[in-house]
Structure 1
Amino acid sequence: MLTLDRVSKRYPHGQAALQGVSLALEPGSMHFLTGHSGAGKSTLLKLATAIERPSGGRVVIGGDDITSIPRRRIPYLRRAIGTVFQDHKLLFDRTVYDNVALALQVRNFPRSKITGRVQAVLARVGLERHRDKYPITLSGGEQQRVAIARALVNKPDLLLADEPTGNLDKQLGDEIMDLFYEFHQFGMTVLVATHDLSQPQRLGLPQLQLQRGTLFS
């Protein structure tokens, strides 16, 4: 599902963020990407979504080499990828329903299909009763669930999460990770970047460790 082949990333006037990183995530697998702050976790996820381009090597998703993908094709690529950020990136002037529906509206889905798809994914993350509320009225854990619902509504093959529990307490963090584990059990490929080493141990899942841009598994 996701393959990095000897990928490197060096920023102008800076040190290398990634150095010769290779990995292969099988469809339906779940892995944790761990490492200290600045180890390169966020950079790796940005390369996997074509937010940034590698300085060397290849990034392949679903058999497609996205290393030099034309910019016009990037939005179509991202439809197969769900991304969850630590800071949610929600629109606070729109309801929970509207935040999630936006991902389908930009693809010109019929309104009838949008309604059914959004209601189903909100139920999946336990937010069906909050659909008409605004994100500002929700707890941090509930806001993160909205972000997860938005990432899932397109039914992506690959889910990427960047420190999704960094601002949550342990109980809420465990609940969010349990959601990701559930999606993985239903066949979704999941990669979670986290500094919390207790999560892969708790769930008994493999971790890929980044140290100063170098990957260890």
Structure 2
Amino acid sequence: MVLTVSDLAVARGGAPVLEGLSFSVAPGEALVLRGPNGIGKTTLLRTLAGLQPPIAGTVNFPEDTGAYASHADGIKAQLTVTENLAFWADVHGADLVDSVFEAFDLVDLRDRFAGTLSAGQKRRLGLARLGVIGRDVLFLDEPTVSLDGFSVKMFASWLRDTHLALGGIAVIATHIDLGLDAPELDLTPFKAAPDARGGSDEAFL
């Protein structure tokens, strides 16, 4: 299982933003996307995950192995922490194991309703979904938003010692140093020319 990107061009709201991207990420590896705000990191991640079509080029990885995590936590406020994770486990036909609660510091919050959690706790719960869905290729858009320093290290530990150690792949847009031994890809040189043609007319969400 390898993620392979060849001569990719992507658009936001019909306007080309990045072009000429080619790279590959092997099992057990991560790639960190860098670049100023507005360069197209989110657009690239959405395109890699198959949520919007590219203008040109190809993205290849095994079908039904990818997952995209954005700024939204994707939790149901009226359900408890356990019920939220059980829901996602059930959707993906996976088992909900105790190690997920431990990895994301949710043990003492199992029976709390998600709507009563702090912003950081909600973020940890949202990220804990990644530990139950069993997807090998993760596309992560600023995953540490709302997390304190301790929680950032905890998430980085899970990403490094569990997901990547088991042969997973991660492509991450972040301004935070996660302490990963991973190459960085600066998207600035791939900014689309002002007169670049084309672009899908998809709704940008």
**TM-score between both structures, scaled by the size of structure 2:** 0.80
8 Å contact 1:46–1:52 — kept in the other structure?
Answer: yes
Write the distance in 1 (CA, Å) between the matches of 2:164 and 2:187: 22
Letter in 1 for 2:75: L
8 Å contact 2:103–2:154 — kept in the other structure?
Answer: no
1:7 aligns with 2:33: no
Among all aligned residue pairs of Structure 1 and Structure 2, give the percentage whose two residues are the same amino acid: 27
Do the aligned partners of residues 137 and 58 (structure 1) sit closer, same or farther apart at CA in structure 2, a change above 3 Å counting? Answer: same
Aligned residue pair count? 190
Which residue of the other structure, out of 77, 90, 93, is the alignment partner of 1:92? 77
Write the distance in 2 (CA, Å) between the matches of 1:192 and 1:13: 24
Higher helix proportion (structure 1 or 2): 1
Structure 2 unmatched runs, 5+: 193-205
Write the distance in 2 (CA, Å) between the matches of 1:2 and 1:153: 21
Which digits, 9 at most, give the CA deviation of each residue in 1:36-68, with x for residues without a partner? 111111111111221101011111013x6xxxx
What corresponds to 1:138 in structure 2? 117
User: Residue 169 of structure 1: CA displacement?
Assistant: 3.5
1:165 aligns with 2:144: yes
Do the aligned partners of residues 119 and 175 (structure 1) sit closer, same or farther apart at CA in structure 2, a change above 3 Å counting? Answer: closer
User: Residue 95 of structure 1: CA displacement?
Assistant: 1.3
8 Å contact 2:45–2:68 — kept in the other structure?
Answer: no
Write the distance in 1 (CA, Å) between the matches of 2:100 and 2:31: 23
Q: Secondary structure at the match of 2:143?
A: coil
What corresponds to 1:19 in structure 2? 19
1:128 aligns with 2:129: no
Structure 1 unmatched runs, 5+: 65-76
* RMSD after superposition: 2.4
8 Å contact 2:143–2:174 — kept in the other structure?
Answer: yes
Write the distance in 2 (CA, Å) between the matches of 1:203 and 1:104: 27
What corresponds to 2:199 in structure 1? none
Further displaced range: 158-167 or 46-55: 158-167
